[in-house]
């Protein structure tokens, strides 16, 4: 009796175990199906990556199967089958490059129809013959002395500018040289504002070129804009909320804008100014003719002062104290800080 009871209990236990196992299996299957349906719309997650790897593996396996056991001649035939597709892709790239080239040179070809001056034509022809845009610009610039047709200069400069901007192979220095020469061409054509714009583009590409500042100086001198001080810091003309002034031959500019343009840190407390850039420090007091540069005492010809709520400091003194190069171009009243 005890044995039959034990058998009954064992049978009951096995039934419960099978039932529990069946329920667990069904649950796992349902969860797997639901998870697959939930993940499918994402597409580019791990499932998509796995699918992509699988497809690439299948393609590689297909290629291996094609070459496996094949003779050398058969393998060469398989490679030749790929060549038309490779050639097609190459032609597409070439066509795209050709369309860009045609866009660049179309304006040059049109300009040649309206330009008679042999020097102007030579400059445009240089581009069509495959020489670099920078070289073509230089060829045009070097003949400016004897080139007096302003209309033709404008036509050529315009086409060369567009070609230079479309030339993706030109680096920053090449662009700076090109814009600089084009600026000189526009000065000869009497277009001072356009020349200034191109020269400022040249500065943004190569802010350390002193020759660009010299040409800009000529632009400002020709438009007789000598009363206002023009300040360029690291190739850019910052906007001052209080205009720079000249006092006893020294240019004073707002402290905060100068420091920010140079990337210097400023501490201003109780009329005492501390300016730091890298390992250089300048300390001065508003209204005082004494200052410190890297801890060494220096006398100021013009002290810092407050104008319209802004502290103005001597530009050259601060710039050189922070190891920057400061040049003043008197003709156009221009200051360059690098």
Tell whether the model's pLDDT for residue 205 goes beyond 80. yes
CA–CA dist 230, 235 (Å, integer)? 12
Q: Which residue has the higher pLDDT, 269 or 7?
A: 269
CB atoms within 10 A of CB 158: 16
pLDDT at 139: 73
The pLDDT tens digits of the residues spanning 206-241 come to 999 999 999 999 999 988 766 789 999 999 999 998
Tell whether the model's pLDDT for residue 124 goes beyond 60. yes
Residue 329 pairs in a beta bridge with 334
Instruction: Indicate whether this model's pTM tops 0.75.
Output: no
The pLDDT tens digits of the residues spanning 81-95 come to 656 666 666 655 554
End-to-end Cα distance, the chain: 107
Q: How confident is the model at residue 163 (pLDDT cuts 50, 70, 90)?
A: confident
Q: How confident is the model at residue 23 (pLDDT cuts 50, 70, 90)?
A: very low
Domain ranges in the chain are 148-225, 245-337
pLDDT at 83: 61
CA–CA dist 181, 186 (Å, integer)? 9
CA–CA dist 240, 254 (Å, integer)? 7
CATH architecture of 148-225: Alpha Horseshoe (1.25)
pLDDT at 213: 96
Evaluate whether 234 touches 262 at the Cβ level (below 8 Å).
Answer: yes
pLDDT at 119: 62
Q: Looking at residues 101-130, what average pLDDT do you find? A: 64
Residues, the chain, total?
A: 338
CA-closest candidate to residue 285, choices 129, 277, 298 = 298
Q: Looking at residues 139-163, what average pLDDT do you find? A: 81
What torsion do the CA atoms of 76, 81, 82, 84 make, to the nearest 10 degrees? 130
Highest mean pLDDT range out of 49-58, 147-156, 164-173, 253-262?
A: 253-262
CATH architecture of 245-337: 2-Layer Sandwich (3.30)
């Amino acid at each position: 009796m005890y044995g039959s009871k034990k058998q009954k209990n064992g049978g009951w236990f096995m039934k419960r175990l099978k039932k529990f196992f069946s329920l667990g299996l069904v649950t796992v299957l349902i969860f797997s199906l639901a998870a697959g349906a939930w993940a499918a719309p994402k597409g580019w997650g791990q499932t998509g990556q796995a699918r992509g790897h699988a497809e690439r593996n299948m393609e590689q396996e297909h290629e291996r199967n094609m070459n496996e056991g094949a003779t050398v001649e058969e393998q060469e035939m398989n490679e030749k089958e790929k060549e038309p597709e490779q050639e097609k892709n190459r032609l597409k790239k070439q066509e795209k490059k050709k369309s860009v080239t045609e866009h660049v040179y179309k304006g040059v070809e049109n300009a040649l129809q309206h330009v008679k001056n042999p020097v102007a034509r030579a400059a445009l022809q240089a581009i069509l013959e495959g020489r670099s845009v920078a070289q073509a610009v230089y060829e045009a610039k070097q003949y400016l002395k004897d080139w007096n047709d302003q209309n033709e200069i404008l036509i050529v400069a315009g086409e060369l500018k567009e070609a230079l901007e479309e030339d993706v192979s030109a680096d920053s220095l090449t662009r700076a040289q090109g814009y600089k020469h084009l600026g000189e061409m526009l000065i000869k054509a009497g277009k001072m504002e356009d020349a200034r714009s191109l020269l400022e583009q040249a500065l943004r590409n190569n802010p350390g070129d002193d020759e660009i500042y010299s040409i800009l100086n000529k632009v400002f001198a020709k438009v007789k804009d000598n009363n206002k001080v023009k300040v360029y810091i690291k190739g850019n003309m910052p906007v001052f909320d209080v205009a720079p002034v000249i006092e006893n031959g020294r240019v004073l500019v707002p402290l905060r804008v100068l420091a920010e343009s140079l990337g210097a840190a400023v501490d201003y407390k109780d009329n005492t100014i501390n300016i730091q850039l890298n390992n250089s420090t300048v300390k001065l007091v508003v209204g005082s003719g004494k200052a410190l540069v890297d801890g060494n005492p220096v006398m100021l010809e013009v002290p810092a002062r407050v104008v319209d709520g802004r502290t103005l400091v001597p530009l050259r003194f601060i710039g050189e104290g922070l190891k920057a190069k400061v040049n003043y171009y008197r003709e156009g009243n221009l200051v360059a800080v690098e």
